[in-house]
Structure 1
Amino acid sequence: MVQASGVRIEWDNLPQSVRDGIEGILGAPVAAASSQAGGFSPGTADRVVTTAGRRAFVKAVGTPLNPDSPGMHRAEAGVMGRLPGGLPVPRLLGVHDDGDWVALVYEDVEGHHPHTPWREDEVAVTLEALRRLAVPVDGLPRLQDEAAADFAGWRNLAADRPQTLDPWAAANLGLLAELSDRGLAALAGDRLVHGDVRADNLLVRPDGTVAVIDWPFGCAGPAWFDTLTLVLNVRLYGGELSDDVIDADPDDLTGCVAGLAGMFTDRARRPAPPGLPTVRKFQQDQADVMLPWLRDRLSARPRR
């Protein structure tokens, strides 16, 4: 079974100074903490309850665990500070940052991750949440800029071709690079993009609505990009969700599928980052979904 999860520490493993900072934000000591599954950060992800009965969700990570992860928490805090009101996202209550450790304290959202394999009803409410998210935004990074290096994956593979590369991909590296260029050009846009929609980054509330969580990659791009990543996640877990739910130019969509397939294929062959031993396997699992998807789209493309 595909697992979007890493190896994380728990509340009691945090330095005392970090726990003190978090409790300062919450206004009372933490009486109980329950570690939450999902995601690849080596840091904490806990639902906490204070001695005063206040509930919150806390995630914290430090440079001793991974040198890059604190920067992702800082990026997420910056994104949350720029989101318009009224969106299906949790409220950020505060940030503790001592230079080495960064902790984000959120309101606790009651709910569960969507079931995997995905259920039709949870796909439907997630699509509605993504529709609500796709609002104009200012001041966020541009997806096109953020993805430029990632969409060079096929060129990286051509320059240093692994023996395990899929034979069809190996025979079509030039085409795949050209398609990725088209995909990168299609990522221009001014709409809010989460950038990493998957089951462990979503919570289905008791009323059936969905909250979208974990925002380090929040940026501005086309309104349909998050729907593309949802389709990938549904298929990753063995489900079926038609490309028809993605409101994009067909050639733009094919280019983005090519770019993402190259990104995951290129990343999966690299050594695992410190503290993230499972992420490369998950990237390979996604590449294994995207490459057949790309071949199907190309075989169905009208001849010119």
Structure 2
Amino acid sequence: MPFKDLTVLVVPHNEIQVHRFKISRWLLVSGSVVCLAFISCLGYLILTSYNKNFDYLKYINLQRENRILTQKLEGVENNIAEMNTKVGELMEENQVFRRIAGLEVLDEQVKEVGIGGTFVGNYDELFEINGPLAKKIYKQEDQIDVLLRKSKLIDQSLQEAIQSLEASSDKWTHTPSIMPTKGYISSFFGRRSHPIYHVMQPHNGIDISCGAGAPIIAPADGIVTVVKNQIGYGLTEVVDHGYGYTTRYAHMSKSNVRVGQKVSRGDVIGFVGHSGITTGPNLHYEVYVDEVPKDPMNFILDNYVP
């Protein structure tokens, strides 16, 4: 049987009379529709309000994160500026170090450590999100990249200078630079009248007058190549110091080394005598550079004997 109307009976507990209410079908349907519509609207309003509040909170959080990120970037920018100053100071110290090592200083253009290349890639989404922030980030990345390249340049330059200094240090230890014995110079380098034959002839060294038996020391590191008696020179030693340097010691009374022996600056290699052609005890001392005789006085620092 089709539903037409709805009758509602209300029976109070304390009353005998029963209340009867009759609701038509259309009123019931209309009321139900209105209630559903109201509930739907209320739900929509609640959901919309929640979404708006959620979006607002999200916006507030994003603003806060953006503010913190901006502050951090400013801190990084300050650190980069300090690093750039320090790298500049290190670059100048490196230039001084290169001069000490006997190297040419780095050219100003080399110090810029420029690079080249073509850009390959897609448009960065960061620019779409926040253009100014993206520019700051990429500017800092470029600055850090330059600092890294400059640091590598300084490291390579310092390594080159260290190698040069090590080579120079080794050369220095093999360069004659001190008096081979204590005494006074009785005859200098150059042409002179021979003390025995009284004829003018070259004198390829200096004569150091001192008492017989005075120790003779090596003026630099080297290897003994000659220990023998030679005409005119008497007992003679020759030391090859490398780098083209050779020294000769003549008129010795006794040798303290053997051929092939390595000697260091300051080692006693023999003793003063008057063997060979001489008027008295003295050391005849010669210095050769690439087999060319040089004035030994140019290889003596303040007549120093350790």
TM-score, normalisation: structure 2: 0.18
Greater fraction strand: 2
Q: Which has the larger radius of gyration?
A: 2
The structure whose RCO (Cα within 8 Å, separation 6+) is larger is 1
TM-score, normalisation: structure 1: 0.18
